[in-house]
Copies of this chain bind each other. A is one copy, B any other.
Amino acid sequence: MTMHVDLLIRAGWIVPAQPRDVVYHDHCLAIARGRIVDILPVDEARRRCEAKIDLHLPDHVLIPGLVNAHTHAAMSLFRGLADDLPLMTWLQNHIWPAEATWVREEFVRQGTELAIAEMIRGGTTCFNDMYFFPQETALAASQAGMRATVGLIMIDFPTAWASGPDEYLSKGLELHERYRGDPLIRTAFAPHAPYTVSDEPLRRLNIYAEELDLPIHIHLHETASEVETALAQRGERPLKRLAALGLLSPRLLAVHMTQLEAQEIEQLAATGVHVLHCPESNLKLASGFCPVAELSRAGVNVALGTDGAASNNDLDMFGEMRTAALLAKAVSGDASAISAIDALRMATINGARALGLEHEIGSLEPGKSADVVAVDLGVLETRPVFHPASHLVYACGRHQVTDVWIAGKQVLRKGRLTTLDEAQLRAQADVWGARIVSTDRSQ
């Protein structure tokens, strides 16, 4: 029986990320109505499929769209504003004043558009965000055809976005309601960190999170000083406090986690908490080393994020996969820890699992949404090809991404964005650059 499909991509290699160690050579990926319907040998595809569009990419490898599990997307406008500074100097003298002056609706909208453009160009098809004015983040993603989990931010102190916990919560719930059932946009509660959110708001949002079945996305154990300060002020480590508040569950997405004791790793595994690992941000801010190999061995799901562009300074998941694999080996003292395919899974299926989307995205399997990335291995830097997964993680640059589909819709075609205007984004970015320079004290 003939199978009618919208798009049939024949590729040199397909690395589906799941099943774990499978690599298809010279196979076809069939897409219909926004979903992957099959992965099949070329001969069989010729016999069985009738496709509206046939694409032949003999030098390319197809991979699942990358999931950037921790971003502050709008901060792309602050990229490179101030670097090489101790964390508190960087925050207090540069980032916080710049945020107080500039972060409004238009900033978040245009900064997020810039970030989405960068992410799509680099093969990222889904991001998990935390920032102010999340309705602008949601709108920017929705209009660009980008998949996002938008954080409903919560913090004790007032900002331009909300006056305090009550308003953060009510505005967040309103946004959640607005996107309920949306095919691309989801929401998550996003309390900033244990040291900026009190017990009462944490308890309240935890109740809502259970009721609405939403993830809780929080910075946790980012630095030794965070843990030491909590011990001095409250007599307990932040993870213990969250446990007492009932937050440890498969709903919790704990970002950074550079400070972990053996018993805490067991506790994370036992409660199903996900760790969102941001290796380059941790390095750049000298925050510490997340024990990724130990977490993985203990059965904790570790996903990968870039953090914001102000502390990375890019939204490059290829770079992040590479750094994650390299760093895990060095930190564990074991060159066989976190293989290339492990790193690719951290950037795909593990991210999907953390966001509760593992049945929808994160791997190239029949039935899943067609979030697909084509990476060109035809350039000199990746010839010859012995193992495509190795090249993806250890040798490729994100510029080798040529084509990207999200839910079957092509958002990058031969390196050009189809839903965003590059010239306009650049012009907007430069206008913001001039504004921000005018008020930054480092300039």
Query: Per-position contact with B for A52-91: 1 when CB-CB < 8 Å, else 0?
Result: 0000000000000000000000000101111111110010
Residue A181 is within 8 A (CB to CB) of chain B in the complex: no
CA distance A27 to B309 in the complex (A): 29
User: Contact check: which of B325, B336, B433 meets A86 at CB < 8 Å?
Assistant: B336
CA distance A383 to B309 in the complex (A): 11
CA distance A85 to B289 in the complex (A): 22
Most buried by B among A117, A284, A285, A383: A383
B84/A335 in contact, CB under 8 A:
yes
Stretch touching chain B among A137-145, A354-362, A423-431: A423-431
CA distance A283 to B285 in the complex (A): 19
Q: How far is the CB of A346 from chain B (nearest CB, A)?
A: 14
Residues of A at under 8 Å CB distance from B? Answer: 77, 79-87, 90, 114, 117-118, 121, 280, 282-289, 309, 312-314, 316, 319, 322-323, 325-327, 329-330, 332-340, 378, 380-387, 390-391, 394-395, 397-399, 422, 425-426, 429-430, 432-434, 436-437, 440, 443
Decide yes or no: A329 and B395 within 8 Å by CB, A84-B336, A386-B433, A429-B384 being known contacts. no
User: Contact check: which of B312, B325, B380, B387 meets A422 at CB < 8 Å?
Assistant: B380
Q: Report the nearest B residue to A397, measured CB to CB.
A: B397
A433/B384 in contact, CB under 8 A:
yes
Secondary structure of the A side of the interface?
helix
Could you show 29 A-B contacts with beta carbons less than 8 Å apart?
Answer: A79-B382, A79-B391, A80-B387, A80-B395, A81-B386, A83-B339, A83-B387, A84-B336, A114-B383, A118-B381, A121-B381, A283-B330, A285-B335, A286-B329, A286-B330, A286-B332, A314-B394, A314-B395, A319-B319, A323-B326, A378-B426, A380-B425, A380-B429, A383-B433, A385-B433, A386-B436, A386-B440, A397-B398, A397-B399
B383/A430 in contact, CB under 8 A:
yes
Q: How far is the CB of A385 from chain B (nearest CB, A)?
A: 7
Question: Which chain B residues lie closer than 8 Å to A332 at the CB level?
Answer: 286
Copies per complex of this chain: 2
New A-B contacts (15) at CB < 8 Å, excluding given A284-B325, A284-B326, A285-B329: A79-B382, A80-B386, A84-B335, A84-B336, A84-B340, A121-B381, A283-B327, A283-B330, A284-B335, A284-B394, A289-B330, A314-B395, A316-B381, A383-B426, A386-B437
Most buried by B among A313, A326, A380: A380
CA distance A90 to B336 in the complex (A): 10
Decide yes or no: A426 and B380 within 8 Å by CB, A80-B395, A284-B394, A394-B80 being known contacts. yes
Question: Which chain B residues lie closer than 8 Å to A121 at the CB level?
Answer: 380-381
Q: How far is the CB of A150 from chain B (nearest CB, A)?
A: 22
Question: Which chain B residues lie closer than 8 Å to A319 at the CB level?
Answer: 319, 322
Q: How far is the CB of A305 from chain B (nearest CB, A)?
A: 16
Q: Report the nearest B residue to A423, measured CB to CB.
A: B380
B397/A430 in contact, CB under 8 A:
no
CA distance A82 to B339 in the complex (A): 11
Q: Report the nearest B residue to A315, measured CB to CB.
A: B381
Q: Report the nearest B residue to A428, measured CB to CB.
A: B383
B394/A283 in contact, CB under 8 A:
no
Q: Report the nearest B residue to A59, measured CB to CB.
A: B426
Q: Report the nearest B residue to A312, measured CB to CB.
A: B394
Question: Which chain B residues lie closer than 8 Å to A79 at the CB level?
Answer: 382, 384, 386, 391, 395
Question: Which chain B residues lie closer than 8 Å to A87 at the CB level?
Answer: 335
Question: Which chain B residues lie closer than 8 Å to A339 at the CB level?
Answer: 83-84
Q: Report the nearest B residue to A434, measured CB to CB.
A: B384
B118/A313 in contact, CB under 8 A:
no
Q: How far is the CB of A52 from chain B (nearest CB, A)?
A: 31
CA distance A346 to B329 in the complex (A): 24
Q: Report the nearest B residue to A326, measured CB to CB.
A: B283
Q: How far is the CB of A58 from chain B (nearest CB, A)?
A: 12
Q: Report the nearest B residue to A284, measured CB to CB.
A: B326
Q: How far is the CB of A405 from chain B (nearest CB, A)?
A: 20
